[in-house]
Amino acid sequence: MTRHIGLIPTVVITHTEPFHVSKAIATLDYASTGRAGVRVRVSLAQHEAAHFGRRSFPERAQADRAWPTSAELIAGTFDEAADYVEVLRRLWDSWEDDAEIRDAVTGRFVDRQRLHYIDFAGRWFSVKGPSITPRPPQGQPVVSALGHAPVAYQLIAGSTDIGFVTPRDADDAAHIVAEIRAAQVQAGRAGDPVGVFGDLVVFLGPDSAAAARRKARLDELAGAVYASDAKVFTGTAGELADLLLEWQEAGLSGFRLRPGAIPDDLEGITRDLVPELQRRGAFRREYEAPTLRGLLGLPRPASRYAIA
């Protein structure tokens, strides 16, 4: 059981319905007492489309992104993702915070005046609402997305609370952050707090050579050199702390570290990196808020449908 860790499952929005996902994430938010979020992901993969059985895509769509039809299709899936997030947020808002009465004497469970139809009608979804789940403890669970390219940065800037990105160095990090901030302005969200977190795959060791040898040994056992969409780091906890602080100076809000191997690198992060960052005054020593939004510095939004 966790008491502090945020829980952010990934949802392939290309093949799922926002109404069902909204109530599932709201339920997780209740079960975790306000520590839920969701990472939205688009997919044009043939095997995932076949798994769900709801739609299919051209064979070349995933393999050849320069193909005009692929570019149009990719842009369309991200537009669909933006609508998907909008439906999620409206459904979470469709119950006002004090909509539940729970009056056993009168037999009234809910104030119907504080439930609202969302009446969303778009290119991909038509959802009347309201949700069948009361408003989540956080008001709106944290919405996140992973982005590698401008079309994904636009989704992060226009729709999410947190964006995960994969810079290669500090200059690249600064460029990505600037691109997302500019897209926020274009989306009318210049004043909204949108965190930009850098992803890193981490192989740690007592010294740089030992970390490199361990990764090389794992590569040999796997029969291939490990590759990732994110930068792969090998080195000591101190060297990783140096890199994180350098990237923070470039404008990143935080980091999502992916252990190269479990449990070794997860333990290296918690037992070596965290104390090193704490010694430098760069990491919390206690949890300062009970909710995931609070820990990320995000305010609890009011329901857009609340009666004045």
DSSP bridge partners of 38 = 143
For residue 45, is it within any domain? yes
Domain that holds residue 15: 1-147
Mean pLDDT, range 285-298, rounded to an integer: 94
For residue 252, is it within any domain? no
- Residue 225 dihedral angles phi and psi, to the nearest 5°: -75, 130
For residue 29, is it within any domain? yes
Q: In this predicted model, what pLDDT tens digit does every residue of 26-80 receive, in sequence order?
A: 999 999 999 999 999 998 888 888 888 778 777 654 555 554 467 788 889 999 9
For residue 226, is it within any domain? no
For residue 172, is it within any domain? no
For residue 187, is it within any domain? no
Domain count, the chain: 1
Residue 53 pLDDT: 78
> Where is average pLDDT lowest: 1-15, 86-100, 163-177, 264-278?
1-15
The pTM score is 0.91
For residue 190, is it within any domain? no
Structure tokens at 74: 């990719």
Residue 44: CATH number of its domain: 3.20.20.30
For residue 141, is it within any domain? yes
Residue 65 pLDDT: 52
Q: In this predicted model, what pLDDT tens digit does every residue of 137-190 receive, in sequence order?
A: 999 999 999 999 999 999 999 999 999 999 999 999 999 999 999 999 999 999
Angle of CA points 12, 165, 23, to nearest 5° = 30
